[in-house]
């Protein structure tokens, strides 16, 4: 069986003629053709690069046509660039750089920028039995050359001028252009870009707008960036800065001041001392300064391009080194409520003065004030709290010195006396045969002298503030007086306290303050009272009547107790007053109930019969 693509041998000449005629008709005679929607021309790669190759592929064909005809710009005979006959592989091309493969794809080698164009392929579609055409576009790009940046103003003035920067490139195939400022995208209301991004305009430039600026150009096959471009913005001078900032110098020191201010171009500097021109340099130097160099130093910075100037002042003080002052007072040993006057003595003038009390800064209270430039401190109504160490300190900005301490003594007292142990109601109770230590406490300077009196009798054996009694006896009860006096203030104070000796309370009980004699007297009194009542009952009810009425007056008096010479009048056997009671009996009335005496009193009764 023969191949379908071959004609019978007997008719081979006729078949070849038919093919030749079809080829001529399809290639050289412009037929009426339809634009194909079923296949297309696609560049591979999508973009051509100068010097490289590209293939225009035919995509979407279901069957291979007998031939391919390629055109450029338009499908007209004059624009035919290649014809390929599939059967015999014959290629007819207008340029040696062109080649058509067996599948109809057109390859173009050694591309140039001029190869950018629209390309068409025309063929006979066996499916539709029509001559159809497909179109594709080839874009060829070359490597981009480095762009450059130009400026409309090479020295714009800050806050005054506008500047436009333009990105320039010799390459025409630029598809994209971007700007960067300090490696960041431009932003802000003062930045304006042209529609094609080639020009960047800055409104009212400032020193922060100096850059650097870069522009970058791109196309699909290449990227290139300009060199950094920095604007030379003219500004300043700003307010100068003077260093060092310390305004204080000692006599004999060297004064060196440096003035600087931000400015472009750099500023010119001049120095003035108290309004008089000194030097026209950024640095001012004065050796071995004296008190006469105290004053105002002014630095003026000027910019000849902007026409602006600014200034800065510094007040320099030259001072002497402070030597140690001395402190004196009208008296260092004063009485309370008197007046103290301190004077700080120094050989310097214009020094600052500080006062110290007990090594702490003195805070003036009521009655304290300073005068004569703080050199004199006056303390009125001196109290004991003002006793202590006083100092004065002189200082200036470069040095200070403090006087030696001056000790002040304040004499006072004696104040009110306090006893220990503390009396209960002006009385101190002490148990019989125990010891008693009385302490007389009083504030006084110098320390007070003491005298003790017992029942107004001086006790010469006790000359300090303590009175001691070992093994207290009944005779030690009495009034004890402490007298304190100050030999310097010539003041004295005294106070008395009553000492009462009591018996030892029974163990486990609350005890009684009555002496043994008092208790015995109470018992005897009660027994006598009961006997008298019994006798009276017998006399009234059992004795025969008619006897004369009898009147019995009974009076009991206590004997005076013995006393020690140094003690009070109280007896150790009696500590309470003797009370008397009258009892009246009437034969016609009911008997009165007898009232027992208190355990703290001795009761004596007087009995009358009516």
* CATH annotation of 148-225: 2.60.40.10
Residue 235 per-residue DSSP state: B
Question: Is 80 exceeded by the pLDDT of residue 588?
Answer: no
Q: How many CB atoms lie within 10 A of CB 521?
A: 23
Q: pLDDT tens, 211-244? A: 999 999 998 988 999 999 999 999 999 999 999 9
Q: How far apart are CA 313 and CA 241, in angstroms?
A: 9
79 pLDDT tier (thresholds 50, 70, 90) = very high
158's tokens: 């800050």
505 pLDDT tier (thresholds 50, 70, 90) = confident
SS3 content of the chain, % helix, strand, coil (to 5): 10, 40, 45
pLDDT at 39: 85
Which whole number is the average pLDDT over 248-253?
94
Q: pLDDT tens, 420-432? A: 999 988 899 999 9
- Taken as a whole, the chain contains a residue count of 610
* CATH annotation of 241-319: 2.60.40.10
CA 76 to chain centre: 88
273's tokens: 């001392």
CATH architecture of 418-502: Sandwich (2.60)
Q: Please identify which residue in the block is written with the tokens 């009761």.
A: 603
| Domain range summary for the chain, segments of one domain joined by + | 22-141, 148-225, 241-319, 326-411, 418-502, 516-609
Q: How far apart are CA 217 and CA 258, in angstroms?
A: 48
* Choice between 284 and 596, residue whose per-residue pLDDT is larger: 284
Its CATH class, for the domain covering 326-411, is: mainly beta
3-state secondary structure 407-468: EEEEEECCCCCEEECCCCCCEEEEECCCCEEEEEECCCECCCEEEEEECCEECCCCCCCEEE
* CATH annotation of 22-141: 2.60.40.10
pLDDT at 587: 35
Domains 326-411 and 418-502 share a fold: yes
Task: Write the DSSP assignment of 68-130 as a string of letters.
Answer: EEEEESSSSGGGEEEEEETTTTEEEESSTTEEE-TT--EEE-S--GGG-EEEEEEEEETTTTE
Q: How far apart are CA 446 and CA 424, in angstroms?
A: 30
């Amino acid at each position: 069986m023969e191949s379908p693509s071959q004609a019978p041998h007997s008719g081979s000449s006729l078949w070849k003629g038919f093919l030749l005629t079809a080829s001529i008709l399809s290639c050289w005679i412009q037929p009426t053709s339809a634009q194909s929607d079923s296949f297309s021309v696609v560049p591979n790669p999508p973009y051509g690069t100068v010097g490289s190759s590209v293939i225009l592929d035919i995509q979407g064909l279901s069957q291979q046509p007998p031939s391919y005809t390629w055109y450029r710009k338009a499908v007209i005979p004059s624009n035919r660039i290649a014809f390929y006959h599939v059967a015999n592989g014959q290629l007819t091309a207008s340029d040696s750089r062109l080649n058509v493969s067996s599948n109809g794809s057109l390859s173009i080698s050694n591309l140039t920028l001029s190869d950018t164009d629209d390309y068409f392929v025309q063929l006979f579609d066996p499916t539709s039995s029509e001559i159809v055409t497909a179109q594709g576009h080839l874009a060829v790009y070359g490597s981009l050359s480095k762009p450059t940046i130009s400026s409309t103003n090479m020295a714009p003035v800050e806050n005054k001028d506008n500047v436009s920067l333009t990105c320039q490139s010799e390459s025409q195939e630029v598809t994209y252009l971007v700007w960067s400022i300090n490696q960041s995208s431009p932003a802000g209301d003062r930045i304006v870009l042209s529609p094609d991004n080639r020009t960047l305009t800055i409104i009212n430039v400032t020193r922060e707008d100096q850059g650097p600026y870069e522009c970058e150009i791109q196309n699909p096959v290449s990227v290139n960036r300009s060199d950094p471009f920095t604007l030379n913005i003219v500004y300043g001078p700003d307010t100068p800065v003077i260093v060092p900032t310390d305004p204080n110098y000692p006599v004999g020191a060297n004064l060196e001041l440096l003035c600087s201010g931000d400015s472009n171009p750099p500023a010119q500097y001049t120095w003035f001392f108290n309004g008089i021109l000194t030097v026209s340099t950024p640095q001012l130097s004065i050796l071995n300064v004296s008190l006469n160099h105290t004053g105002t130093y002014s630095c003026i910075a000027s910019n000849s391009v902007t026409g602006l100037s600014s200034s800065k002042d510094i007040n320099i003080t030259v001072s002497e080194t402070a030597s140690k002052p001395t402190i004196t007072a009208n008296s260092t040993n004063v009485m309370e409520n008197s007046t103290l006057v301190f004077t700080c003595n120094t050989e310097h003038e214009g020094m600052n003065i500080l006062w110290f009390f007990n090594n702490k800064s003195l805070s003036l209270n009521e009655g304290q004030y300073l005068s004569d430039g703080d050199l004199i401190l006056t303390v009125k109504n001196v109290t004991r709290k003002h006793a202590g160490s006083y100092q004065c300190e002189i200082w200036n900005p470069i040095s200070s010195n403090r006087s030696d301490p001056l000790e002040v003594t304040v004499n006072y007292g004696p104040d009110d006396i306090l006893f220990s142990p503390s009396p209960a109601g002006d009385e101190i109770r002490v148990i019989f045969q125990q010891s008693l230590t009385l302490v007389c406490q009083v504030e006084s300077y110098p320390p007070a002298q003491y005298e003790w009196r017992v029942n107004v009798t001086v006790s010469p054996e006790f000359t300090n503030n303590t009175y001691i009694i070992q093994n207290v006896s009944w005779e030690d009860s009495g009034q004890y007086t402490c007298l304190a006096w100050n030999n310097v203030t010539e003041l004295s104070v005294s106070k008395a306290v009553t000492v009462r000796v009591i018996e030892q309370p029974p163990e486990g009980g609350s005890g009684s303050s009555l002496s043994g004699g008092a208790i015995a007297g109470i018992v005897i009194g009660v027994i006598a009272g009961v006997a008298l009542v019994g006798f009276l009952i017998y006399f009234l009810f059992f004795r025969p009547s008619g006897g004369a009425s009898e009147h019995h007056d009974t009076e009991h008096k206590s004997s005076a107790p013995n006393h020690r010479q140094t003690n009070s009048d109280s007896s150790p056997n009696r500590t309470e007053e003797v009370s008397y009671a009258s009892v009246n009996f009437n034969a016609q009335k009911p008997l009165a109930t007898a009232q027992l005496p208190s355990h703290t009193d001795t009761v004596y009764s007087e009995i009358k019969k009516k």
